[in-house]
Amino acid sequence: MSLPKVFLTRRLPNAVMKRLDVESELLLPADLDAGATREELLDAVTKVDGLICLLSDRIDEEVFRAGSGLKVVSNYAVGYNNIDVALASKHGVVVTNTPDVLTACTADMAMSLLLATARRVVEGDELVRQGDWQGWGPMQLLGTEVTGATIGFVGFGRIAQATMRRAAAFDMRCLYWNRTRLSESDERSLNVTYVPLDQLLPQCDFVSVHVALCDETKHLINRERLQSMKPSAILINTARGAVVDEAALVEALQAGWIGGAGLDVYEQEPAIHPGLPALKQTVLAPHLGSATMQTRTKMGELAVENCLAVCRGQQPPNPVNAL
């Protein structure tokens, strides 16, 4: 039996690459580290059964028209807003993702951003590295207390709940808003309180964003909602960049409507709003939410399993669309 033909748009951890080498006829872009160009992607899908792609790869009508024999688009991510899922279904292509395996890792990143922003760790690091530190001072780089503060979760899925458990270790008061409210028994067991979004924001010392990106959530955190937050509040976003109106966020930080922001995602990444780098009250990470070797390997293994299952006529572990 012939091996399925698979195109991988960018290098994944070694264990994942080895499996693909053994279990598929693997096609790769010329520069595996930089990733596939648009031209390489469109050419490759004319030749393969399966595509393993990243959030940065736009999978649209042009791709589906070119890939008439394509069976599966396996996204190396939890989110899949880079893929036109409705068009995939129309063309009979299964779309899959990699949920669950990056929950803990991304929750760790959310707390890392929260702590680094609140305690001004990056500013302190810069002060020491530049040789400008003159010794301890009672008013030097005073930050915001985390222990006992109120945190609000915008969206309350797996990653938000994992972040909440970490916040609880700091004795934080945990509020949440979600489009679907939990049962009262679940709220009691998690020790969280549901609050409508526009009532939640003014109460919180920290706001952590965890909603998926869709038409309803684009710019959910907009100018008006930023203005409603505490002047000392810190916004954390490890979800999707476009959930926050980035231009409005820069305005909010410049005007002092909020106290700071810790960001791992951006509206037009890798481009970011030109006003962000100059703002000392921000911590800006380059989409590191799942960036540990262990998690990225697990994601790759799941992406490969999804892809190969469909190519073999089997049910994949994580289908996004039902065909």
Based on the fold, state whether residues 156 and 83 are members of the same structural domain.
Answer: no
- 316 in a structural domain: no
Based on the fold, state whether residues 83 and 173 are members of the same structural domain.
Answer: no
For 72-129, the pLDDT digits (tens) are 999 999 989 999 999 999 999 999 999 999 999 999 999 999 999 999 999 999 999 9
Q: What is the pLDDT of residue 323?
A: 84
- 320 in a structural domain: no
- 318 in a structural domain: no
User: Residue 210 has which token pair?
Assistant: 């965890």
For 209-263, the pLDDT digits (tens) are 999 999 999 999 999 999 999 999 999 999 999 999 999 999 999 999 999 999 9
Based on the fold, state whether residues 72 and 129 are members of the same structural domain.
Answer: no
- Beta-carbon contacts of 287 under 8 Å, excluding residues fewer than 6 positions away, are 264, 265, 266, 269
3-class DSSP state for residue 176?
A: strand
3-class DSSP state for residue 294?
A: helix
Based on the fold, state whether residues 93 and 107 are members of the same structural domain.
Answer: no
Based on the fold, state whether residues 171 and 43 are members of the same structural domain.
Answer: no
Is the distance from CB of 57 to CB of 73 less than 8 angstroms? Answer: no
- 214 in a structural domain: yes
Based on the fold, state whether residues 231 and 300 are members of the same structural domain.
Answer: no
Based on the fold, state whether residues 81 and 108 are members of the same structural domain.
Answer: no
Q: Give the chain's domain count.
A: 2
Structural domain boundaries enclosing 39: 5-99+293-311
Based on the fold, state whether residues 134 and 274 are members of the same structural domain.
Answer: yes
- 319 in a structural domain: no
3-class DSSP state for residue 289?
A: coil
Q: The CATH number of the domain where 113 resides is what?
A: 3.40.50.720
Based on the fold, state whether residues 109 and 93 are members of the same structural domain.
Answer: no
For 117-172, the pLDDT digits (tens) are 999 999 999 999 999 999 999 999 999 999 999 999 999 999 999 999 999 999 99
Catalytic positions are 240, 269, 287
**What mean pLDDT do residues 176-202 have?**
97
